[in-house]
Amino acid sequence: MTTAAILVAAGSGTRLGHDRPKALVALGGVPLLLHAARALAGSGCVSRVVVVAPAGHTAAVAGHFPDGVVPGSAVGVVLVPGGASRQASVAAGLAALDDDVDVVLVHDAARALATPALVRVVETAVRAGHAAVVPGLPVTDTIKEVGPADPAGAAPVRGTVDRTRLRAVQTPQGFVRATLEAAHAAGAARASDEARAATDDAGLCEALGVEVWVVPGEVDARKVTEPTDLALAELLLARRV
Ligand SMILES: Nc1ccn([C@@H]2O[C@H](COP(=O)(O)OP(=O)(O)OP(=O)(O)O)[C@@H](O)[C@H]2O)c(=O)n1
Ligand SMILES: C[C@](O)(CO)[C@H](O)COP(=O)(O)O
């Protein structure tokens, strides 16, 4: 029984707007991807991490993992270059897993402050018998379904969704390896086109008819997408020390 993690870090970070790929942007002086890798290693349940690096930046990424391990741990790191979409990057990570791995956690470098405790909760739920597990939080805004927007950008409301039935899902997402591989194989045609690619791995499993389970997520696992998210992450990090 071996659990490995795929840490997807190959995105460009267009919405964050920095001069380097988002995963290499510093949070409290440490790159996002290193925060995320430390949480995976610190969970105690992850034996290896496959880091999916931005094309053209593999040397910079490797520099953060001297001796081929997550710093401060004995958890080995393998580096692979990413793809055109998040889905393609996860597929590249899947292809690099060792044969003994039976459970896979897929984690966004952009969710840098997800805690080791959350990693354990997800992994435990998979080991307990759920083939696909995602962390999620209740939605706090009222959600409207809308029609096409007019030229000024205003869109007509088509309805109000029952938010008690909704969850905003996070990573790490956990899977029985064979389930995740089957889901990626079935959805492979979508991976090269960002517009058609799955936005998360659980979605690929759902498309295959696999039941996906949600466990409680955490505020700290919020995704760094835009500059205000990075500012908020700095506050969350400062609160920890
Ligand atoms: N081709 C891609 C695209 C995304 N990701 C990773 O998937 C996670 C979630 O993606 P997102 O937050 O959307 O990152 P970016 O694609 O970099 O953001 P943007 O859309 O603003 O460019 C990130 O850790 C990102 O590095 C990846 O590995 N490969
Ligand atoms: C996987 C994810 O973080 C779950 O919420 C999310 O779907 C990533 O989406 P993005 O469009 O790649 O940021």
Using a pLDDT cut of 70, give the percent of the chain over it.
100
Residue 26 has pLDDT above 90, yes or no: yes
Task: Give the mean model confidence (pLDDT) for residues 207-228.
Answer: 98
The pLDDT confidence band at residue 226, using thresholds 50, 70 and 90, is: very high
Q: What is the pLDDT of residue 210?
A: 98
Q: Is 200 in the pocket of ligand 2 (CB under 6 A)?
A: yes
Residue 29 CA, ligand 2 centroid: distance in Å: 24
Give the H/E segment covering residue 116.
Answer: helix 116-127
Residue 209 CA, ligand 1 centroid: distance in Å: 26
Residue 241 has pLDDT above 80, yes or no: no
Residue 148 and residue 228 in contact, taking contact as beta carbons nearer than 8 Å: no
Give the H/E segment covering residue 79.
Answer: strand 76-81
Q: Is 15 in the pocket of ligand 2 (CB under 6 A)?
A: no
Mean pLDDT score of the chain, rounded to an integer?
Answer: 97
Q: Is 73 in the pocket of ligand 1 (CB under 6 A)?
A: no
Distance CA 132, CA 212 (A): 5
Nearest to 224 by CA among 17, 6, 83: 17
Ligand 2 atom 9: residue of nearest CA: 199
Q: Is 200 in the pocket of ligand 1 (CB under 6 A)?
A: no
Domains in the chain (CATH in brackets) are: 2-240 (3.90.550.10)
DSSP labels for 28-61?
Answer: TTEEHHHHHHHHHHHTSS--EEEEEEPTT-HHHH
Q: What is the pLDDT of residue 152?
A: 98
Q: What is the pLDDT of residue 148?
A: 98
Q: What is the pTM of this model?
A: 0.97
Q: Which atom of ligand 2 is nearest to the CA of 134?
A: 4
87-117 pLDDT, tens digit per residue, is 999 999 999 999 999 999 999 999 999 999 9
